[in-house]
Amino acid sequence: MTVRQRTVLADGRELFYFDSAPGRDRDAPDLRTELPETSTTSQVRWDPLFHAHTVIADHRQSRIFRPPANLCPLCPTRDGMHTEVPAADYEVVVFENRFPAFAVDSAQTVPRVTTPPFQSAPGDGRCEVVCFTAQHAGSFARLTHAQARVVIDAWADRTRALSEIGSIEYVFCFENRGADIGVTLSHPHGQIYGYPFVPPRFYNAARTARRHRERTGRCLQCELLAAELGAGERIVSESAHWVAYVPFAARWPYEMRVVPRVHVPDLPALADELRDDLARVYLDVLRRFDGLFEAPVPYIADWHQAPVRQDRESWHLAAEIFTIQRAPGLLKYLAGSESGAGIWINDVTPETAAARLRAANTELQRTNP
């Protein structure tokens, strides 16, 4: 059973330690007494032409950019170096981002403008950092099953907590891995965003799922999963409770969707046996990505959870993992069609991608960081 311990950093931000068993001493105080309080100016602006939000957060320009390993702020506090984590060791730790795109105190400093066409509101949400391990070198794929299970429990715990904040409408757990993705800290970590709105992609998916349920009485994701299992050619990995497959209309050269066989809306709804099984399948999937080419690939992994307050009955939880690498040494760039028109052109057929992922060397992660 995962155990959570809460503390407060010197500037007032919350931090949570997650451990696989009780009895771990995580009581070390944050000794950075001169740490300035965080100041956020996050603003959400509305684009009436394209019916979408844009987040303006110019305070993030001063965030840390690729520090050397001996100055990593996500490592434990050791040998006189005080980091974001006061304890000398940890299993998994979650804390409020020091340079957040959203913050619940934005409403105190950012005005709300309701007169069209220039409508805006405070970025009244929350951003958290999730450190998967105290070890600086490595990746999620190198975690043990027990370590991965603690991360899953942390995701679920924080999803539940952020969903209780009145201004938050969507909780998004994700990981960016690799310099080519744009990661500024190499320590194995991810993030959790509590958006004050439902992002357009998930808003549209929720609306589609709701309409399908109203029309047929069935879950669209369940039907897609059954169809993929029937076709078989895009299935990469499966277990008693989870299926990982390359979507029929995959956008990225190598993209996988990890879906529970049972209909659940979000991570907190997963029973213990589903979380245990997920740890195994999720590690298998990440190791397949790392085994595609000569070295581990840059990727984005994220969770598609139900919106906090709408369309929860019709939503079916899923994870999405994709890499921007299309071949050894070659990246998939978003050019005119993708960035300008929003229409993806995939250079690898989903069936070919699935075959290559099935054949990927899952042992590569043992020898490559």
Q: Which amino acid is at 44?
A: V
Give the pLDDT band of residue 290 (cuts 50, 70, 90).
very high
pLDDT in tens, 132-164: 999 999 899 999 999 999 999 999 999 999 999
Percent pLDDT > 70 in the chain is 98
Whether the ω angle into residue 117 lies within 30 degrees of 0, i.e. cis, is: yes
Give the pLDDT band of residue 212 (cuts 50, 70, 90).
very high
Average of per-residue pLDDT across 112-124: 95
Give the pLDDT band of residue 85 (cuts 50, 70, 90).
very high
Mean pLDDT of the chain: 94
Active-site choice (53, 189, 241, 316): 189
3-200 and 205-362 share one fold: yes
pLDDT in tens, 308-317: 999 999 999 9
Q: Which amino acid is at 319?
A: A
Spatial CA neighbour of 323 closest among 176, 225, 183: 176
Q: Which single residue is written with the structure tokens 């391990």? A: 133
Q: CB-based contacts of 164: which residues, under 8 Å, 6+ apart?
A: none
CATH number of 205-362: 3.30.428.10
- Residue 366 has a pLDDT of 44
> Is the model's pLDDT at 128 over the cut of 90?
yes
pLDDT in tens, 340-364: 999 999 999 999 999 999 999 887 4
Enumerate the domain spans of the chain: 3-200, 205-362
> Is the model's pLDDT at 368 over the cut of 80?
no
> Is the model's pLDDT at 193 over the cut of 90?
yes
Percent pLDDT > 90 in the chain is 88
**Whole-number Å distance between alpha carbons of 52 and 344:** 19
Average of per-residue pLDDT across 248-266: 98
- Residue 34 has a pLDDT of 86
53 included as an active-site residue: no
- Residue 59 has a pLDDT of 77
CATH number of this structure's domain 3-200, picked from the four choices 3.40.50.300, 3.40.50.10490, 3.30.428.10, 3.40.47.10: 3.30.428.10
Average of per-residue pLDDT across 156-181: 97
3-state SS record for the chain: CCEEEEEECCCCCEEEEEECCCCCCCCCCCCCCCCCCCCCCCEEEEECCCCEEEEECHHHHHCCCCCCHHHCCCCECECCECCCECCCCCCEEEEECCCCCCCCCHHHCCCCECCCCCCEEECCCEEEEEECCCCCCCCHHHCCHHHHHHHHHHHHHHHHHHHCCCCCCEEEEEEEECHHHCCCCCCCEEEEEEECCCCHHHHHHHHHHHHHHHHHCCCHHHHHHHHHHHHCCCEEEECCCEEEECCCCCCCCEEEEEEECCCCCCHHHCCHHHHHHHHHHHHHHHHHHHCCCCCCCCEEEEEECCCCCCCCCCCCCEEEEEECEEECCEECCCCHHHHHHCCCCCCCCHHHHHHHHHHCCCCHHHCCC
**Whole-number Å distance between alpha carbons of 182 and 66:** 10
> Is the model's pLDDT at 365 over the cut of 80?
no
- Residue 364 has a pLDDT of 43
> Range with the lowest mean pLDDT among 125-129, 158-162, 221-225, 294-298?
294-298
Average of per-residue pLDDT across 10-38: 92
- Residue 107 has a pLDDT of 74
> Is the model's pLDDT at 67 over the cut of 60?
yes
- Residue 166 has a pLDDT of 96
Average of per-residue pLDDT across 119-142: 96
